[in-house]
Structure 1
Amino acid sequence: MSYNIYLVEDEQNLNELLTMYLKNESWSVTSCLTGSEARNLINTPPHLWILDIMLPDVDGYQLIREIKAATPDVPVIFISARDADIDRVLGLELGSDDYISKPFLPRELVIRAQKLLSRTYVEETSTQSHLIQLDPYEIDEQVRIVYFKGEEVNLTSKEFDLLQLFLHNKGQAFSREQILTNLWGEDYFGTDRVVDDLVRRLRKKMPELKVETIYGFGYRMLKG
């Protein structure tokens, strides 16, 4: 599948290098050097945003707020020269699906983008909807949508990934480290606080979800 990528990076040399690597994957890439340029694209969403936090005109955090307000289901990868845990947590709180710190190898960004795109977009092999009943919710895994009383529940890509992990492993206890590995991969470097934050956001959006905390360990979804 050919994906449309929006890259927002103010360092021109890095922008050109990353654009080249992304285009080598046969993806369509639109690059921006400023937040203002990116703002003009929000209403014509891509398959993936790659967004620098530190921009000369518009803060990356403000941009992701506007992106998620307009298109909550489009995934976002944050890139930043800052490596503080608070930046990672804040990015996830605002809806980012991954975070990569500078300096990084361009190929690493491509691999992360590949994984995120493959998890987010499933090729439809049938026109039929396959709904999973998880009272009071209905889950369509093909299009990655959750319904509550006929209304769509707007989950981010990572929130849906976590829901799927619990859904297909009811009764199984997962440590925070196991959840990190399942959702972000073994190459993720960062605190497991992001797991607690992700679970909190999923519970807030799906309050009837039967996910219990195993103190000092992690989480599990109850059977039944």
Structure 2
Amino acid sequence: MEKYDIYLVEDEENLSEVLKAYMQKEGWNVTVFDNGDAAVDAVSDKPHLWVLDIMLPGTDGYQVLKAIKNEEDTPVIFISARDQDLDRVLGLEMGSDDYLSKPIPATRAHYSCKENFKSGLWVKYIRCTKSRTKRIYHDPIGRTIIDTEENNEAVDLTTKEMDLMLLLSAEIGKAFSREKIIEHVWGDNYFGSERAVDDVVRRVRKKMPRIHLETLYGYGYRILSS
């Protein structure tokens, strides 16, 4: 059984205790924070997953999420009792990996956590240039890595960054619309704007500057062979 470290940020004591109990039954290590300031101070610990409320004493969940993503692309599950559509859009566009609405069934939160811990190691080869092959795989704790042969460097990707790369690299040179990317990466139930696609592309370009990820203005993106 994998010993994942989960940081739960929730100021409602009853809810945090229930969620913590469900997670601990799975054998996960759960640390609870009841305010945003303490959570920000712990960002450098780099746990495997954050479960993060939006309405918090002190620093709110949006600022905590920003601090997390500035440090490392650790998966974040957002939870909120406020305007669902607004929080869902803002959370996803800022890089959260899932969104749960209060009241939250503990089983639903538990399932979302497990989805972020995809077990097993698999390798997929894709052609990103004419002369190089990139190796893409998930490690046992669910992080996604692209190993670039030219500099022997491993690049950590979030789930959405990985899904985007798998989609675009499956057919080098083919253009994918933002609508198609949203359908593939976020699913049919996504309520946010297409800006979320641009944000993921921006992060991928920063992490993988050698990949020729071209913008088709007014349409979408494609990967070209170098």
Q: TM-score, normalised by structure 1?
A: 0.72
TM-superposed CA distance for 1:101, in Å, is 3.2
Check 1:32–1:182 CA distance in 2 against 1; reply closer, same or farther (3 A cut).
Answer: same
Distance in 2, Cα, partners of 1:214 & 1:104 = 40
Q: Offset of 1:10 from its aligned partner?
A: 1.0
| Structure 1 residue runs without a partner (length 5+) | none
Deviation (angstroms), 1:15: 1.4
Cα RMSD for the two superposed structures: 3.5
Shift of 1:184: 3.2
Distance 1:210 1:191, change over 3 A: same
Amino acid corresponding to residue 69 of structure 2 in structure 1: K
Deviates more, 1:107-116 or 1:185-194: 185-194
Asked whether the 8 Å contact 1:83–1:101 carries over to 2, the reply is no
Establish whether residue 199 from structure 1 lines up as the match of residue 201 from structure 2: yes
TM-score of the two chains, using structure 2 as the length reference: 0.72
Residues 53, 61 of structure 1: 8 Å contact kept: yes
Q: Which residue is 2:128 aligned to?
A: 134
Q: Is the contact made by 1:4 and 1:27 (CA closer than 8 Å) also made in structure 2?
A: yes
Q: What is the Cα deviation at residue 48 of structure 1? A: 0.5
Q: Distance in 2 between matches of 1:205 and 1:188?
A: 25
Residue from 159, 162, 178 that aligns with 1:160: 162
DSSP-derived class of the 2:45 partner? coil
Equivalences, count: 217
TM alignment of 1:118-129, pairs within 5 A: 118=118, 123-124=120-121
Structure 1 runs of 4+ aligned residues shifted over 6 Å read none
CA-CA distance at 1:51 after TM superposition: 0.8
- What are the superposed Cα offsets for residues 142-172 of structure 1, whole Å, 9 maximum, x if unpaired? 4533458556656433223311222234344
Unpaired stretches in structure 2, ≥5 consecutive residues? none
Residue deviations 1:9-68 (CA, integer Å, cap 9, x gap): 111122122223333433332222122332453333321111112111222222223323
Q: Could you say if the C-alpha distance between residues 183 and 83 of structure 1 is closer, same or farther in structure 2, counting changes exceeding 3 Å?
A: farther
- The within-5 A match list for 1:55-134 is 55-70=56-71, 72-83=72-83, 87-118=87-118, 123-124=120-121, 134=128
Aligned AA (1:197): D
Q: Confirm or deny: 8 A CA contact 1:35 1:63 kept in the other structure.
A: yes
Q: 1:87 to 1:203 in 2, by over 3 A?
A: farther
Call closer, same or farther: CA 1:194–1:168 in 2, change over 3 Å: same
User: Among the aligned pairs, what percent are the same residue?
Assistant: 48
